[in-house]
Amino acid sequence: MTQMTDKTIAVVKGLIMDGVAKANSGHPGGAMSSSDYATILFSEFLNTNPDDTKWFNRDRFIMAAGHESMLLYSLLHLNGLLSLDDLKEFRQLGSRTPGHPEVNETPGVEATSGPLGQGFAVSVGFAAAEAHLRDKLGSDVMDHYTYAVSCDGDIQEPVALGAASLAGLWGLGKLIIYYDSNKIQLASPCSQVDCTDHRKVFEGMCWQVLEVDGHNQDEIRAAIKEGQLETGKPTLIIGHTTMAKGCATMEGSHKTHGSPLSTEEISATKEKLGLPAENFYVPEDVVANFQSRFDGLRKNAADWQAVVDEKLGDPEFASMWKEVTMPRSERKIDWPEFTPGETMATRKAWGACLNSVMESLPTLVGGSADLDPSNQTQHFRDTYGDFGVTGYGSRNLAFGVREFPMAAIMNGLQLHGGLMPFGATFLTFADYCRNAIRMSALQKLPVLYVFTHDSFWVGEDGPTHQPIEHVSSLRLIPDLIDLRPADAMETAVCLDIAITQEEMPSTIFLTRQGLPVLDPAEYPAVTDGPRKGGYVLKDCDGTPDLILIGSGSEVALCLETAKVLKRKVRVVSMPSTKLFDDQPESYKNEVLPPEVTARAAAEAGRTPLWYKYVGLNGVVLGLDHFGASAPGKILSDKYGFTPENFARMIREKY
C-alpha cells in the first residue's frame, strides 16, 4: 500500500507541476503540500458513486483552498471524471479546469471556492444539511461525511472562524476539515502575519483537534478514522506540512505559492520523485489502484437505492422524500391574504407569510443574525427550535451576530441539496454578507436573503443603521434578483418568486414603517405584476402626460403624488429592476412608452440607477447622503419624501 500510495502521490504532484507550468499560471506549492492527505482521502475513504457524481448520499469534498485546484483536478482525473486533455487546458477559456474550482463547470466539484474562508464556511452548511436531513430521512438514507481541505490563508479569514464557532455549537460530528498548515502564504511566511494557536482556538470552539505530520501516511489515515469516530464534534486535522513538498530545491519557499515552477525545477523534482521526464505522466497501474474501490462503491450506492425504494412504501417517508427532491419551480404555495386599506410594514407581511407557509414547506430552513423579533422570524424559531441546540431536526438556524458566515453557510445548505435556506438581517448589514451573496449568484443558488429596515425610515438608530447605497449596490451583482415590494400584497408575490426560483438568489428589501395595503379591486395588477419586475399599477385614460416610477415604500408616495399633480399620470411599481430588465423590449415599451419622456422616479436610496428609466433629464427623488438620528417621519419631511415636495420637483421640470 505504501509503495503504491507513494507512487500515486508522486504522479499527482507531477500533474500539478505540469498543469500549472503549461498554463504559466497557478499555485503549485500548496497543492503539493496537501497532496498526501487529499490523495489518501480520495483513494481510500471517500464514499461516492463512480457512475453518478450527484448521488444524494455521497460524501462531499470541498476544496476550500481553491487555489489548490490543480490538486483536485488531478484526483478527479484519477477518478475518471476528467481527461488528460482537460488537465492540459488548465485555466484556459472554456475548459473544465478553471483557475479555481467552479461547481457548474467541472464534474465532481461540489462548490465554487474562490475567496478564501468561504469554502470553510460552505462546508459547515453542507454538514448542517446532512445532519438535518439525517434526522428527517433516517441515517440509512442520509449519513455521509463532509470533508474539506483548508489552508493558512483560509483560516485567517474571519468568516471561517465565525462558521467554525457555529459548527462547534451545533456539534457537526460528520464534518472533517483538514488544515494544511504549511506555514507559508503568498507574500511571506505565516509567522509575519499570524501568531494564532489554532489547536487552542478550535478546541475552545468545541472542535476535536488532531495534529499530524501531513506527509506521514499512517498518521493521516489514523486521523481520518478518528475524525469519523467522533460523532459529537466536528474535527479539525492540522497537518503540519512543507510547502511544495517534494521539490528539488524550493521546498518551503513562498515563491512556490502563486507562480509556476521553472522547467529546471520541475525536471529535477520529477527525478527526485522517481517520475519520468514526460509531461502529464499517468501510468495505468496508478489509475487501476486508484479505482480499485469502484465496484464496492457501486454496490454501496445500489444497496442505498434499495433502502430508499423500500422506505418509499412508508407514507410519512414518501411525503418527506417528495419535499426533499421536488424542483422548486413546481411548488404551489398558498400565501396569506391581507386586508386592503390596513397599514402594515412589509417586514411584518414577510413574517405573516413565513408563519402561514412554514408548515407546508417542511424543507424551508433558516434564521436571523440575532435579530429574530425585528426580522419577524421569532415565531418560526419558537415553533421549530434551534438547529443543533434543541435537535438536528430543528429548522431555525440561530446564526448569532455573524452575517457573513450566515450567508456562506446558506450557500452550503443550498449546494448540498434537499433544503430551501433563508437568512435575515438588517439591510445595512448586507455589506457583511456581500461576497457570499455574490457567490450565491455565481453558483446559481436560489437562496433567499431577507433584509429588513430598508431605508432612512429606520429612524432613531441613526445613519449607521440607515441603508442608503445598499439596494443599488446589490443590484450591481449579476444574476441576483432584487425584490423591494410596495406593500403586503407585493411581498407575498415577491416571496413566491424567490421560493420557486431555480437558479438565481433573491434579496428582498422590507420596511420597518407601515405601508397601506393595496386593494386588488382598485389595483388588479398587484396580484401578479411583480413577476415581471415592473408593471403598470395605476393608469390614466389615453396616453399619459407623465409616468411616475416607484419602488417599495415610495410606490405609495407616487400614488399620492399623482393625486396632487392632477394630470394624466401613469404609476409604475418596480419591485425588481432585474426582472424588469429581463423582460422583452416590447413589454418594457408597453410599461414605459418611449414617446412619454416626462418621467419621475422615487426610491429612498441612491439616485443614479433610476436615470436609466426616467432618462438623463428625468426627475429622481432619492437620497445621496447619509441619514441622521431622528424619528422616520421627521426625516421624511426633512429629505422631501412627501407628495407635495415630489410634485413640486416634477412641476419645476415639466
Q: To which residue does cell 451573496 refer?
A: 437
Q: What is the spatial distance between Cα 104 and Cα 529, in angstroms, rounded to a whole number? A: 32
Q: How far is CA 59 from the centre of its chain?
A: 20
Residue pair 390/381 in contact (Cβ under 8 Å)? The answer is no
Q: Which residues contact 306 (CB under 8 A, 6 or more apart)?
A: none
Q: Burial of 530 by CB count in 10 Å (0-12 exposed, 13-18 middle, 19+ buried)?
A: buried
Q: Burial of 176 by CB count in 10 Å (0-12 exposed, 13-18 middle, 19+ buried)?
A: buried
Decide if 403 is catalytic.
yes
Q: Which of 403, 490, 554, 603 is catalytic?
A: 403
What is the SS3 string spanning 210-252? EEEECCCHHHHHHHHHHHHHCCCCCEEEEEECCCCCCCCCCCC
How far apart are the two ends of the chain, measured CA to CA in Å? 83
Distances from the Cα of 465 to the Cα of 6, 59, 431, 470, 623, angstroms: 57, 42, 12, 11, 15
What are the phi and psi torsion angles at 536 (to 5°)? -80, 110
Distances from the Cα of 179 to the Cα of 29, 155, 362, angstroms: 15, 8, 35
What are the phi and psi torsion angles at 546 (to 5°)? -150, 140
Residue pair 125/167 in contact (Cβ under 8 Å)? The answer is no
Q: What is the spatial distance between Cα 579 and Cα 211, in angstroms, rounded to a whole number? A: 51
3 state DSSP class of 576? coil
Q: Which uninterrupted H or E stretch holds 646?
A: helix 643-653
Q: What is the spatial distance between Cα 435 and Cα 623, in angstroms, rounded to a whole number? A: 25
Give one word for 343, left, alpha or beta, with left for phi > 0 and alpha for psi -120 to 50.
beta
What are the phi and psi torsion angles at 534 (to 5°)? -140, 145
Q: Which residues contact 242 (CB under 8 A, 6 or more apart)?
A: 33, 182, 215, 251, 252
Per DSSP, 545 falls in state S
Pairing of strands 364-368, 481-483: unpaired
Q: What is the spatial distance between Cα 654 and Cα 645, in angstroms, rounded to a whole number? A: 14
Distances from the Cα of 598 to the Cα of 196, 566, 619, 638, angstroms: 61, 15, 9, 26
Q: What is the spatial distance between Cα 339 and Cα 519, in angstroms, rounded to a whole number? A: 8
Q: What is the spatial distance between Cα 461 and Cα 24, in angstroms, rounded to a whole number? A: 52
Q: What is the spatial distance between Cα 421 and Cα 393, in angstroms, rounded to a whole number? A: 14
Q: What is the spatial distance between Cα 484 and Cα 492, in angstroms, rounded to a whole number? A: 11
Q: What is the spatial distance between Cα 19 and Cα 435, in angstroms, rounded to a whole number? A: 29
Q: Please give the radius of gyration of the chain, using alpha carbons only, rounded to the nearest integer.
A: 27
Cell numbers for 422: 433563508
Signed CA dihedral, 122, 124, 130, 132: sign only: negative
Per DSSP, 278 falls in state S
Residue pair 322/137 in contact (Cβ under 8 Å)? The answer is no
Active site residues: 403
